[in-house]
Amino acid sequence: MSRTTTAETTDVFGADSILRRLVGEARWGLAVTRATLLEAAHPQIGAALMENSTFLTHPWRRLRNTATSSRRILSPDPRVRDREVARLNRLHARMSGTDAQGRPYDATDPEARAWVAATLFESTVAMCRLSGETLDAGEMRRLYDEYRIFLTLIDGDNEHLPATLQEFWPYYDHVVENRLENNDAVGVILYRLLANVPAPPALRGHPLVWTVGRAVAGPLATAVIIASLPEPFCRRVALPDLPGARTLMQGAYLTAGLATRYLPESWTRVDSVMGLLDPSSATPWDTVRRKAGQAAALLRLITPAPAADDQQVVLSADRFFSEVLDQTGDGYLRWPDLAAMAREVATRLDLGEQDEERLFQAYAAWWRELQAALDGDDDGRVTRQEYAAAAASLPGAGLIKIADVLFDVTDVDDDQKIDAQEYRDLFRTAFGRDLAGDGSYSRGAFVRQFVSFMSGQEHSEAYSTLLTQA
């Protein structure tokens, strides 16, 4: 089986690329969600998700980063593609270990990566079929070839994915029937993630509106996902056959297909939907945000105010633990939580290898300090109670080191201050009022605010947006 060359990659990911067109459409989110569940059932991928991923606590951030990464990999500029692939491989190389059953997992495992490409291809085909778009034999072969090239870019080769579309379907059926399992990651995605998904940033100021909408939409979304999955997979992982779910699923996909064909393109592109994840952006969905604000105001009028908190100090540390430190949502502070913070900063600033390594090393130094101060039983994790009880006396040298590195990588022009554009690149927010009068951020001010926030002593809207954004 021959390797795909750079020239072939450039030709396929040109202006007529089927994959690039579909990835740019908002309905592709249906394919990605479906594929994610099939990926999670793979033992290697499921373990990596449960141990390292922030998809449960920060699903919208994960969605935004996935969309951004996909666009970069499909870019016609080889430099953009190569940089993104290198970044992804560095991040995935840090995700390895053993699952709860003692089985090793590695996020760079070639067979698992091939399964990711396989689920995305099959789910994209299913999305097109269910939403009323027919792919003829030639288009389907082209789409499959593009996914094989996608895998080649990430993994260096595509040896673990069948060479032809004809060979793909028996391979896919074999993995579904013999390799996948009903693991914790599958249950979390179906029954915890959709039931508890936090509000996207644009609607975070209206929690009552979101809670009411989620109570209705969550079960419906679960039913749509289950009904769209291959029957052999549903049997293997014992998913329920919900009455009316198939009709609901077909209606959801057809609606997405009709919207793509008949609504203005600016409404149905991924970029427009991503605008809901960025409150400072101007998108066609601004009206939705305004209506949500009006509905929230009405609900506040009829909802009693919460009772006063008599344990403000302890609960403040407890809330900080939950919203900032526990990035993976397992109830503990572990190294994967701090690594997730470093990943988010590295992704947002598109750091090169050297700067990224400095950032991870700084977070590792802080983790060693936290372990020494708080991990009394030496089990590699800190409980919420342990953190809340000792929050006021935590060491600060590691945090200062992180802040120094963070300042250096944000200050791209190396003028020893963070200007408006650098501020926006890091925080993805408007030019904030907490900046100095000359519209810049000195190293001292930056370090002080970061350390105060990360030690739970002072609230910062900018850092809260960066590290708690769902």
287 domain residue, yes or no: no
Mean pLDDT score, 366-383: 86
Cα 36 to Cα 221: distance, rounded to the nearest angstrom: 14
48 and 173 within one domain: yes
DSSP 15-53: TT-HHHHHHTBTTHHHHHHHHHHHHHTSHHHHHHHHHH-
Mean pLDDT score, 284-288: 48
- For residue 332, list its beta bridge partners: 383
Mean pLDDT score, 52-74: 83
Range of the domain at 341: 312-468
Q: What is the DSSP letter of 181?
A: -
150 and 24 within one domain: yes
The mean of the pLDDT values for the chain is: 82
Cα 231 to Cα 443: distance, rounded to the nearest angstrom: 57
Mean pLDDT score, 432-439: 57
Cα 321 to Cα 130: distance, rounded to the nearest angstrom: 43
Give the CATH number for residue 330: 1.10.238.10
Q: Which residues, including other chains, have CB under 8 Å from residue 213's CB and lie 6 or more apart?
A: none
Mean pLDDT score, 326-337: 89
Given 209, 236, 263, the domain boundary residue is 236
At 427, the pLDDT band (50, 70, 90 cuts) reads confident
Q: What is the number of domains present in the chain?
A: 2
Residue % of the chain over a pLDDT of 70 = 83
Angle 150-48-58 from CA coordinates, rounded to 5°? 85
255 domain residue, yes or no: no
| Residue (of 63, 58, 66, 53) closest to 95 by Cα position | 53
Q: Residue 43's pLDDT is what? A: 94
H or E stretch at 134 = none
133 domain residue, yes or no: yes
Given 179, 212, 236, the domain boundary residue is 236
Higher-pLDDT residue of 143 and 289 is 143
- Using the structure block, give the residue that is written with the tokens 């990224």: 356
Cα 71 to Cα 1: distance, rounded to the nearest angstrom: 28
Q: Is 382 helix (H, G, I), strand (E, B) or coil?
A: strand
Given 216, 236, 256, the domain boundary residue is 236
H or E stretch at 177 = helix 165-178
Q: Residue 121's pLDDT is what? A: 97
Residue-wise pLDDT tens digits, 79-106: 888 999 999 999 899 999 998 888 999 9
Q: Residue 166's pLDDT is what? A: 96
